[in-house]
Each structure stands twice: as C-alpha cells, then as structure tokens.
C-alpha cells in the first residue's frame, strides 16, 4: 500500500498561471517526477504526462497567446524543456526510455514542432526563431530510435520545413535554415539507418530543397545552399562513404548516388540552371564536379574499384560525360 500511495503522489514542483483562459494539465505516475508549467498571456494550453518510471523532468514556459504544448515521457531520467514565445505555436514531445533529452524553443507565430525519441541517451533540439529573427509558419519533425543519437534543427524565416529521422547508434543529423540571410519556403529531409552516420544541411534565401538518405555505417553527407529554387539529392548505401554538395545561385540541381564502401563524391555549383549527376558503385571511387556559370551539365558513372574523375566547367552551356567501369 505504501508503494501504491507513493507512486500515485509523484512530486509536483511549481505551477504558475497568469492572465485569462490559460489551461494546464499534469498527470504523473511513478517516482520522483518533476513538472513545471508557467503561462503568461491568453488561451495557452499545456498537457504533461509522465508515467511508468522515475526521475523524469519536464518544464514548459508559454508567453503570448494560443500556444499549445504537449509532453509525454515514460521511463527513467528523461528531460524535456519547452519555451514558446509568440502566437499559435504548437509543440509535441514524446520520449520513451532512459536519459533522453528534448529541447524546444519557438519564437514567432504559427510554428510547429514534433519530436519523438526511443532508447537511451538520445538528444533532440528544435529551435525556431529568436528575438531579432523570428520564425513564422515553420514545421520541424524529428524522430530517433536507438542510443546516443543527436538531432539538431535551427529554423528562421517563413514557412520552412525540416524532417529528420534516425535509427541506430551515435548518429548525427543537423539542419539549419535562414540563419544569416532572410527567406523562406525551404525544405530539408534527412533519414539515416545504421551507426555513426552524419547528415547536415544548411540553407539560405528561399525555395531550396535538400533530400538525404544514408543506409549503413560511418557515412557522411553535407549540403550547403544559398540562393533560390535549388535542389540537392544525396543517397548513400554501404559503409564509409562521403558526399558533399555546395550550391550558390538559382535553379541548380544535383543528384549523388553511392553504393559500396569508402567512396567519395563532391560537387560545387556557382551560377544558375546547372545540372550535376554523379553515380558511384563499388569501392574507393572518387568523383569531383565544379560548375561555374550557367546551363552546364555533368554526368558521371563509375562502377568498380578506385576510379577517379574530376570535372571543371567554366562559363556557360558546357556538357561533360564520364563512364568508367572495371
């Protein structure tokens, strides 16, 4: 009976509500949980559920109007912090396991964050806007399953989108949009399966798109975009592969595909309406492509072991094709 009463009266520290029609709900079952909610403004809503474990911590701060936050934690020593400043922001955190950490900061209006973590020692960070560079209408979705993984999303500007998913151990995925230059309507999609993989994407200005998929171990993929309406797709299967992409201009496109081990591919586009398509299958192949100008096209296909290709296109309207096989 003593254990039942103790579980049913889990620790509640702090609950502070200011202004009108704010609503807070807290449900705790277990041992030594801590929940803190602070609301200032109108019609804010928060819901916290902590169950089936011990030592979970959750804190929510809402300043503004019509913000909504929901947190669900199950397990031991999980940690969630949510800060919402502005209007009509939404957040949903779900954590199951041990020592997972979730952090959300929303500064602006009509932003949305969804985060889900399963496993041990995972961390997910979502940041939308700051006091001098707010985010409007942004959407972040982050999900990871496994141990010791890290997800990082930093979003500024208007109507940007980030989706990141990881399964495995010690993976890292990071996305950043409009941190240094204004814009919006950018999109980042990143998915990784395996261990020790890294995926990073950075976008400035507007209407750019990044899509990266990695399956295997010890792979790395990175994209930098500055300009408008650019597209970068990188897909890697195997172990120890590296892919790099840089785009500066408008309407550039690139597609990188690697299958095997220890392959390296990289492309840089500076200008407009350039197209780079690089494909490698096998072991220790290398391909570099540089396009400086407009309307240039490159196609590279390498299959086998230790092939090497380097292409430089300068000025406009050039076309290059390389095919190498064992």
2, 42, 254, 270, 320 from 290: Cα distances, Å:
71, 54, 11, 8, 11
Contact 229, 251 (CB under 8 A): yes
Q: Indicate the pairing of strand 68-76 with strand 45-54.
A: parallel
| CA pair distance 129, 107, nearest whole angstrom | 5
Please give the structure tokens belonging to residue 31. 């041992």
Residue 141 has phi, psi (to 5 degrees) of -130, 125
Domains of the chain, by residue range, sit at 97-325
Which residue reads 């490698």 in tokens? 280
The tens digit of pLDDT for each residue in 219-260 reads 999 999 999 999 999 999 999 999 999 999 999 999 999 999
How much is the pTM? 0.92
DSSP 12: -
Tens of pLDDT, residues 143-202: 999 999 999 999 999 999 999 999 999 999 999 999 999 999 999 999 999 999 999 999
- pLDDT of residue 5 exceeding 60, the answer is no
């Amino acid at each position: 009976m003593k254990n039942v009463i103790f579980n049913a009266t889990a620790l509640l520290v702090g609950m502070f509500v200011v202004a009108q029609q704010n609503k807070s709900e807290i449900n705790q079952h277990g041992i030594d949980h801590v929940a803190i909610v602070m609301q200032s403004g109108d019609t804010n809503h928060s819901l916290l559920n902590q169950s089936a474990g011990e030592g979970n911590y959750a804190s929510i701060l809402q300043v503004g109007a019509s913000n909504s936050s929901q947190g669900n934690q199950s397990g031991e020593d999980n940690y969630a912090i949510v800060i919402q400043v502005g209007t009509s922001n939404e957040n949903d955190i779900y954590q199951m396991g041990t020592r997972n950490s979730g952090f959300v900061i929303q500064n602006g209006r009509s932003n949305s964050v969804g985060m889900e973590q399963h496993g041990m020692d995972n961390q997910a960070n979502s940041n939308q806007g700051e006091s001098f560079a707010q985010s409007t209408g942004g959407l972040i979705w982050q999900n990871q399953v496994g141990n010791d993984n890290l997800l990082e999303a930093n979003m500024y500007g208007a109507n940007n989108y980030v989706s990141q998913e990881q399964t495995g151990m010690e993976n890292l995925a990071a996305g950043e949009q409009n941190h240094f230059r204004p814009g919006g309507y950018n999109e980042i999609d990143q998915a990784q399966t395996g261990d020790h993989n890294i995926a990073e994407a950075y976008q400035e200005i507007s209407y750019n798109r990044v899509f990266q998929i990695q399956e295997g171990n010890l792979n790395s993929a990175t994209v930098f975009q500055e300009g408008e309406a650019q597209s970068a797709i990188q897909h890697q299967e195997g172990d120890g592969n590296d892919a790099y992409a840089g785009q500066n201009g408008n309407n550039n496109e690139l597609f990188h595909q690697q299958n095997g081990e220890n392959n390296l591919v990289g492309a840089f586009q500076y200008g407009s309406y350039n197209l780079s398509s690089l494909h490698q299958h096998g072991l220790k192949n290398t391909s570099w492509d540089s396009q400086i100008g407009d309307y240039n096209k490159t196609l590279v296909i390498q299959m086998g072991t230790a092939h090497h290709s380097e292409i430089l296109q300068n000025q406009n309207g050039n076309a290059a094709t390389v095919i190498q096989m064992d």
